[in-house]
A and B are shown apart, each in its own frame.
Chain A
Amino acid sequence: EAQVTQNPRYLITVTGKKLTVTCSQNMNHEYMSWYRQDPGLGLRQIYYSMNVEVTDKGDVPEGYKVSRKEKRNFPLILESPSPNQTSLYFCASSYNRGRNEQFFGPGTRLTVL
């Protein structure tokens, strides 16, 4: 089954404790992206990757890092989480750039205390 998986689905952590949210897709997509969804703000792009070893900032990259060492994986790293990073995070992938429909993962609900 074609899908985008994210782990963990739910995470409660404390300020400053490094964490990684994993994202994996099995569709051989070149393009992957991370979004955060906040009430009243919709979906905002954090980082995207157009291919292996190619990443770039989206609209709200501050406080986040990403890496794309393999085509299927695109982890989101919070080196020192803060409460303003409490949000619902979605990973997505598509065949190329942002042109095609993006397939979204189920989301990761992160709470930073």
Chain B
Amino acid sequence: DQQVKQNSPSLSVQEGRISILNCDYTNSMFDYFLWYKKYPAEGPTFLISISSIKDKNEDGRFTVFLNKSAKHLSLHIVPSQPGDSAVYFCAASGYSTLTFGKGTMLLVSP
């Protein structure tokens, strides 16, 4: 049973536009959420996180929104840049484990 779902395997966006990556979760015990970015041949790197007591967190061009009632979070990248092209993983944290989604490949074209 997949507890963290990223239903879009890929997303293509033009440079300068907004990228919106979505993530749904099913486990109500998750109370901390993170986004990771992964380039080929590298390990994932942390991007941004949000606690369940908040509904928004911003860091530069990246904003994460959390809708607890819908068990949904999204990552907004504005403006998108070609260097943002990577696989983005949504992750949810319970007490001691981190559960990842399958990832969304973002392609930002010039």
Contact = CB atoms under 8 A, between A and B. Distances in A.
A, B from the same assembly: yes
Contact of A90 (B43, B46, B49): B43
Interface in B75-110: 89, 91, 93-103
A104 B43 contact: yes
Contacts of A90: 43-44
Interface of B: 6, 32, 34, 36, 41-46, 49, 89, 91, 93-103
A59 B97 CA distance: 9
A33 B98 contact: yes
Interface residues on A, range: 20 to 34
A99 B94 CA distance: 8
Interface in A56-108: 56, 58-59, 90, 92, 97-99, 101-107
Given A40-B102, A101-B34, A101-B49, A48 B42 contact: no
B86 to A, nearest CB: 13
Contacts of B42: 106-107
A86 B91 CA distance: 23
B1 to A, nearest CB: 10
A111 interface: no
Given A4-B43, A106-B43, A107-B42, A99 B93 contact: yes
Contacts of B41: 106-107
B96 A59 contact: no
Contacts of A56: 96
A102 B102 contact: no
B102 A98 contact: no
10 contacts: A43-B91, A45-B97, A45-B99, A50-B96, A59-B97, A98-B97, A101-B46, A101-B49, A106-B42, A107-B41
Given A99-B32, A106-B42, A58 B97 contact: yes
B101 A48 contact: no
A98 B96 contact: yes
Contact of A98 (B45, B46, B94): B94
